[in-house]
Amino acid sequence: MAAPTEASERRPFGRRFLTDPARLFQHNAWDNVEWSEEQEASAKSKVQENSSQLLPQDKQEEYEVNAKQYWDDFYKIHENGFFKDRHWLFTEFPELAPNRNPSQNENSVRECSYKEVSNNEGLGSYENGHCTLETKAENQLNLVTTTPTFCTEELAAQKYSKLNQSSQDYPGSCASYRILEVGCGAGNTVFPILQINNDPGLFVYCCDFSTTAVDLVQNNVEYDSSRCFAFVHDLCDDQSPYPMPDESLDVVILIFVLSAILPEKMQCIINKLSRLLKPGGMILLRDYGRYDLAQLRFKRGQCLSDNFYVRGDGTRVYFFTQGELDDLFTRAGLEKIQNLVDRRLQVNRGKQMTMYRVWIQCKYRKPAAPQ
């Protein structure tokens, strides 16, 4: 796989190369691993093979119509034990805790040793695109048994239908720094932010397509309604409202979320999120890159369209290039701050397995208002 040509698109870590196979199973991961021509050719061949047979159109429509149910089922099965808390976010995205001391970020890296390494972020227990019920993560968040009080899409529509930019009557309206996570799942990004960012002016919004996921967030013992607002939201529904006005957010987070959306709907979603940003606000993204291990593991008959697949549990995933993401963000009027590929070799020492992961990380900023 060709290396990025721009210095800004390289990982900010030191380059590491595998020269001694005997050392392979002494470490968990290597950053910024370069691929040989043979590896790249092999990856392309596997993708050509697993995408040679597309699912019939009626089946594709079925997965689109029932997308919410598939994600609800996913969280009913796994609850909050599938992904681990993403403390690595503060090293990759210091914008989430702007007042945090840089040395704290370094300590976070040492303490967490990149949670992605231990739980294969975005892959988890998937084998060949099918989800297997393995032992849940040891650091599950504790849940309380109270009945959830959802902010459903219907309630949001009623409560915020008259919302406009001059309105001050919305959750977090008094906050000085507002963050929205789209596709929050069980809260593995939200709760680390609330724990680490002690800014009294912070307010975090989080939403998910899945009612079950929002239930898990709202019923977590660390959920604080004075600092956080969780709500159900359908990204693909143009009429589905957000509980905050346009130009009110400092940061929007998309972590392994955009890839679950039908490709032809992605631009509209990014346009809408861009409008929510303040001038100078940023969208932070981390998602699947082309030829990631998860893509290569799919079998024939699971491909929906180019680089877009359905897993065994009905959830879907797309694998991006840097150029595709750059087009989506720049067409929405955002400026590139960062767009890089993170190619990482992970080793499961217990299973004696090597895994080549490919992720893309982006930061795009809304231009500041003219003086």
Q: What is the DSSP letter of 40?
A: H
Per the DSSP assignment, residues forming a β-bridge with 364 are: 283, 336
What is residue 247's predicted lDDT score, i.e. its pLDDT?
Answer: 96
Residue 165 pLDDT: 42
pLDDT value of position 236: 87
Domains of the chain by start residue, with CATH = 21-96+175-366 (3.40.50.150)
Q: How many CB atoms lie within 10 A of CB 323?
A: 9
How high is the mean pLDDT in each 10-residue block of the chain (371 residues)? 40 40 49 77 92 89 78 65 63 84 46 37 38 30 35 49 57 95 90 92 94 90 95 88 95 95 95 97 97 93 94 91 98 97 78 80 92 60
C-alpha span between 337 and 51 (Å, rounded): 33
* Residue 324, pLDDT score: 98
Tell me what pLDDT residue 28 has: 66
pLDDT on residue 71: 64
What whole-number distance in Å separates Cα of residue 304 and Cα of residue 316? Answer: 9
Three-class SS of residue 230? strand
Q: Give the pairing of strands 316-318 and 353-365.
A: unpaired
Q: Which pair of structure tokens corresponds to residue 92?
A: 């990759």
Q: What angle do CA 296, 119, 144 make, to 5 degrees?
A: 130
- Distance from C-alpha of 75 to C-alpha of 66, rounded to nearest angstrom: 15
